[in-house]
Amino acid sequence: MIAVIDYGRGNLGSVEKAFRRIGMPAVITQDPRSLDEADAVVLPGDGAFHDAMANLDRLGLVPAVRRALDGSRPFLGICLGYQLLFSTSEEFGEGRGLDVVPGAVRRLPAGRKIPHMGWNRVEHAGELRLFDGIPSGAHFYFVHSFYPVVAGASRPALTEGGLRQTRVAPDARSVAPDARSGAPGVAPDVRSDASATQGLPLRAAWCEYGVRFAAAIEVGRIHATQFHPEKSQRWGLRMLENFAAIVKSGR
């Protein structure tokens, strides 16, 4: 069974309905015990970063969420639930996230309509299991005003192509860099507290919207997307089917 965390943010019904459509049992819950007993955990979300962290804390869910992120089970973060995995966010002032993935959440640059809302292409190099059977350049549905700057994303050829380093993740090969070194776009003293991710490669898929950003990541059994797979029709359902297959396989 998949547990979908209910902390007062996100299209919980849409996520549960999408899993039901592909034949994967899912339950919406605020019960820490249900999170501990689930085969996999999904953290969805819409809204403000700090409010979401406050709600998780108020409901006593933070310890259970951290246990779900210890690498022993598949985990899927969606939209705000993706951003909460990072160390910090500058939304309404600097604040701490779950600090599982080193990096910082920044506001999308001026020059394009904000929020970034609607369909956009996501490019990948065939390395993320969520994208099995999904072509690079497939369109997914986005709604967000902030994006994560990922410390340590692997950089296949498709992420380079003359793109300036300051517009993508710092050039590192694992998710355990010393962020105090002043890597571009990463808040000072940003270090992950989750031993489950230490030393594991962090792979990313990419989207362009005024800046090239990591639209999805995979590090160990942790998967996350900035877009909404439950709203992304054909390819979104295929992605949820891929996550369900990961859950069933125990990988």
Q: Residues with catalytic annotation?
A: 79, 228, 230
Query: CA-CA distance, 87 to 196, in Å (whole number)?
Result: 15
Query: CA-CA distance, 15 to 120, in Å (whole number)?
Result: 20
Residue 41 host element (H or E) = strand 40-43
- CB of 97 within 8 A of CB of 49? yes
Task: Specify burial of residue 30 (Cβ count, 10 A radius: 0-12, 13-18, 19+).
Answer: middle
Query: CA-CA distance, 49 to 54, in Å (whole number)?
Result: 9
